[in-house]
Amino acid sequence: MKKRTTREITIGNIILGNNNPIAVQSMAATKTTDVDRTISQINSLHDAGADIVRIAIDSKKDCAALSIIRNATQVALSADLQENYRILKDIAPYIDKVRYNPGHLHHHEKNKSIAYKVENIASIAAKYNLAIRIGVNCGSVDPVLKEKFSDDVQAMVESARQHCEILENIGFRNYLVSLKDSDYNKVIRANKLFHDMMPEIPIHLGVTEAGMPPEGIIKTRIAFEQLIPIGIGDTIRVSLTLPFEEKKQEIYAGKNILKDITEGRFRSVPTLFNEKINIISCPSCSRVENEVFIDLAKDVKKLTQKMDKKLTIAIMGCRVNGPGETDDADIGLWCGPSGVNLKLKTKLIGHFKYNLILKKVEDIINSY
């Protein structure tokens, strides 16, 4: 194993980077406002060995829930922000880390620069001793960079670099970066490129929307096996689509992969692993609009198990990331409260009730 070259950062009581152990993370999938269920899920993840647990915070009601949740858990808490970065000032006393997505800072307050918004986040983080994660996702990359680069991996890396530059310029050092995609090959390439460029910046590794076990674990394992032995990766998350009560499987999977890598056990991957139907599905979070989404993901997997086509089907749990994160798939499904939006590549085909969507998907696959 190559020695890591990253600087140390602190997240609550946890020190990451350099020679410190690789921390394992997960995210609560329950509605943040459902305080009892969220506390129970966070503590079950903590009991399973999670070092850090992330929660989606989108509204004032989520902020109020967070203040109660904070008092009911010892785990390091990370808040996941979407467009509304201004909410950070209300939640900073209750968290240890904040994650923002550079691609989402473009939507609100278009008259303000991205640097202004990042500096605002950093000044609050500095005041409350928070760590920041610059969380770049291929499916929601900064629209300006998407336009500029034909290679989306290059766009991701440049987005991360620009945001590091903003933080470095104002002297904020307690941060890390993630560069995620549902394609493990892109995750490997993006992280190698970024690490070559900025070897001192700690990295959070993950394959986003990896899908259900076992495929989701295999995709993640492939990426981790290629990166961790060469000193890339200070913290990890295995993102799996699972029923809420089984979320701790993400932690067990992450720990198993780390143990195998440390002890030199690497898995061979069947040659045709990615040659059949590839299902991408989000790991779900508080933003899921209808829990039926998880059953739909399972049903699509069952439906396609014996089909011999080379297709990618993406299934996402909400309207926040669903529209963008399904763009690269042949068939995209993003779930709303009472039905599912169906896309073929970037084209929206229609909105279908949950009880009708599976048949529609089957017909479309058969027509390929």
**Any idea which residue has 């008092």 for tokens?**
71
- Residue 226: CA count within 13 A, CB half-sphere: 18
Of 174-182, 183-191, 285-293, 350-358, the segment contacting ligand SF4 by CB under 6 A is 285-293
Applying CB under 6 A, does 174 fall inside the site for ligand SF4?
no
Alpha-helix runs per DSSP H in the chain: 35-47, 60-70, 88-91, 114-127, 143-148, 152-169, 184-197, 215-227, 249-262, 292-304, 322-325, 354-367
From CA 271, how far away is CA 145, in angstroms rounded? 34
**What residues numbered 265-284 form the site for ligand SF4, per CB under 6 A?**
282-284
Contacting ligand SF4 (CB under 6 A), which of 288, 296, 313, 361? 288
Q: Measured in whole angstroms, how far is the alpha carbon of residue 334 from the centre of its chain?
A: 16
Considering the complex, state which of residue 27 and residue 261 has its C-beta at the smaller distance from ligand SF4: 27
Considering the complex, state which of residue 103 and residue 283 has its C-beta at the smaller distance from ligand SF4: 283
- Residue 88: CA count within 13 A, CB half-sphere: 29
Measured in degrees and rounded to the nearest 5, phi and psi for residue 367 equal -80, -10
Considering the complex, state which of residue 173 and residue 319 has its C-beta at the smaller distance from ligand SF4: 319
Give the nearest distance from C-beta 137 to ligand SF4 in angstroms.
9
Give the nearest distance from C-beta 317 to ligand SF4 in angstroms.
3
> How would you label 69-80 residue by residue, b for 16+ Cβ within 10 Å and e otherwise?
beeebebbbbbb
Q: Which two tokens stand for residue 40?
A: 């129970």
Using CB under 6 A as the binding criterion, the count of chain residues that bind ligand SF4 stands at 12
Considering the complex, state which of residue 216 and residue 283 has its C-beta at the smaller distance from ligand SF4: 283
**What residues numbered 91-120 form the site for ligand SF4, per CB under 6 A?**
none
Considering the complex, state which of residue 184 and residue 334 has its C-beta at the smaller distance from ligand SF4: 334
From CA 167, how far away is CA 123, in angstroms rounded? 10
Q: Measured in whole angstroms, how far is the alpha carbon of residue 339 from the centre of its chain?
A: 24
**What residues numbered 306-365 form the site for ligand SF4, per CB under 6 A?**
316-318, 320-322
Considering the complex, state which of residue 261 and residue 320 has its C-beta at the smaller distance from ligand SF4: 320
Contacting ligand SF4 (CB under 6 A), which of 63, 285, 294, 357? 285
Considering the complex, state which of residue 162 and residue 208 has its C-beta at the smaller distance from ligand SF4: 208
Give the nearest distance from C-beta 313 to ligand SF4 in angstroms.
15
Instruction: Decide: 216 and 240 in contact? Cβ < 8 Å.
Output: yes
Give the nearest distance from C-beta 218 to ligand SF4 in angstroms.
20
Contact set with ligand SF4 (CB under 6 A): 282-285, 287-288, 316-318, 320-322
